[in-house]
């Protein structure tokens, strides 16, 4: 007989220290500040040991889910990443990307249930690179680690998810990312339906989680449905469906676990506004979308322009003002060189 469990009480094991970090194609590209911040939090705020190995590369997830990378290839590429981790003698794999997290879960599950696939992968990797590899002891997403340390971090925070003017908790939409929880709910905190990983952070930091009807719906990335221009109508339509559903609750911002979701929910608001003149907040400025690292970093008091909030299309200043974050508007479009760059064009409708 199968053991039944209430998912809401379900806690997975999250390694406590000695992490091996794997970067995400999408997070590096669109939110490089978030990855830098996560490593800073681990090292400086939490005193953890983490390795950022230059000899890593993509997990092939986007290629795999858009069907130009065979499963055998993906399994072998994942095996190479693990083999690189073995070199540093670490056992806790921490992939920045939610699709890498899901893919790794899928590969490990396949190896567990089909040992012949594991043997085949070992053979492939040996033949191609001469390498061998061991299965990781723990796989945790960065958000899992932040969730686990949410109370410690709260003690270090300068701000809370509270409206400075009214004293009311900020209303937050959390978006977990399909590949975090939907493939293997048992690898998550709280399962697939009401995952606790972001909700737990928001609540610990005094915010209020919005439970809206399309909460679990996909952002619409859909891999090939975005990669090909002709297909993007699918991708944007799914984000639109989510925003229509959350609109009556008047969320102050959206926080996303997955880098792709964060980017799409930001960009598609711009596209919808420019195509149809529709925005989803009262002031017609859009609903800011943060990565989970950006949310954590803001509350810890990091400079929003060092976190990379200036590379969001939906402008974040209204949110910063609500939280009471002190920031310098003149610093926003300044690069490392210290020179103020010319400002981006303003969209018509958002």
Among 191, 200, 251, 288, binds another protein (CB under 8 A): 191
**Are 7 and 216 within 8 A, CB to CB?**
no
Q: Cα Rg for the chain, rounded, in angstroms?
A: 20
Residue that is written with structure tokens 């590096």 in the block? 28
Least Å from the CB of residue 228 to another protein = 5
SS (H, E, C) 254-276: EEECCHHHHHHHHHHHHHHHHHH
Is the Cβ of residue 23 or residue 141 nearer to another protein in the bound state?
23
Among 122, 160, 192, 206, binds another protein (CB under 8 A): 192
* CA 7 to chain centroid: 22
Least Å from the CB of residue 164 to another protein = 26
Which residues ranging from 201 to 260 are in contact with another protein (CB under 8 A)?
211-218, 220-225, 227-238, 240-241, 248-249
Residue that is written with structure tokens 């053979």 in the block? 123
**Are 288 and 322 within 8 A, CB to CB?**
no
Interaction of residue 183 with another protein, rule CB under 8 A = yes
Is the Cβ of residue 191 or residue 207 nearer to another protein in the bound state?
191
Interaction of residue 54 with another protein, rule CB under 8 A = yes
Residue that is written with structure tokens 């794997």 in the block? 22
Interaction of residue 124 with another protein, rule CB under 8 A = yes
Least Å from the CB of residue 227 to another protein = 6
Alpha-carbon torsion (276, 311, 172, 281), positive or negative: negative
Least Å from the CB of residue 246 to another protein = 9
Residue that is written with structure tokens 């990307």 in the block? 97
Show the site string, 288-327: x = touches another protein by CB under 8 A, - = not: -----------------xxxx-xxxx--------------
């Amino acid at each position: 007989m199968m053991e039944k469990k209430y998912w809401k009480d379900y806690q997975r094991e999250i390694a406590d220290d000695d992490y091996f970090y794997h970067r995400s194609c999408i997070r590096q590209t669109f939110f490089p500040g978030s990855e830098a911040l996560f490593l800073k939090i681990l090292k400086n705020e939490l005193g953890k040991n983490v390795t950022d190995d230059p000899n890593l590369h993509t997990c092939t997830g986007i290629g795999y889910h858009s069907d130009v990378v065979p499963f055998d290839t993906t399994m072998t590429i994942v095996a190479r990443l693990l083999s690189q981790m073995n070199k540093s003698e670490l056992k806790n794999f921490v992939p920045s990307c939610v699709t890498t997290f899901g893919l790794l879960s899928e590969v490990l599950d396949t190896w567990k249930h089909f040992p012949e696939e594991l043997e085949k992968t070992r053979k492939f990797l040996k033949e191609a690179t001469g390498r061998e590899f061991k299965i990781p002891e723990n796989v945790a997403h960065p958000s899992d680690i932040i969730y686990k340390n949410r109370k410690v971090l709260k003690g270090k925070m300068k701000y809370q998810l509270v409206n400075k003017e009214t004293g009311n908790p900020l209303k937050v939409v959390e978006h977990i990312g399909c590949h975090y929880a939907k493939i293997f709910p048992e690898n998550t905190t709280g399962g697939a339906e009401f995952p606790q990983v972001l909700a737990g952070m928001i609540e610990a930091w005094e915010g209020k989680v919005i439970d809206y009807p399309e909460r679990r719906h996909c952002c619409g990335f859909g891999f090939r449905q975005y990669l090909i221009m002709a297909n993007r109508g699918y991708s944007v339509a799914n984000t639109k469906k989510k925003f229509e559903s959350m609109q009556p609750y008047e969320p102050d911002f959206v926080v996303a676990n997955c880098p792709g979701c964060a980017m799409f929910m930001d960009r598609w608001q711009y596209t919808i506004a420019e195509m149809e003149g529709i925005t989803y907040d009262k002031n017609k400025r859009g609903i800011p979308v943060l990565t989970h690292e950006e949310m954590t970093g803001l509350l810890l008091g990091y400079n929003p322009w060092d976190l990379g909030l200036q590379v969001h299309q939906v402008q974040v200043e209204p949110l910063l003002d609500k939280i009471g974050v002190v920031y310098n508007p003149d610093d926003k479009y300044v690069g490392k060189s210290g020179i103020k760059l010319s400002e981006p064009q303003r969209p018509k409708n958002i």
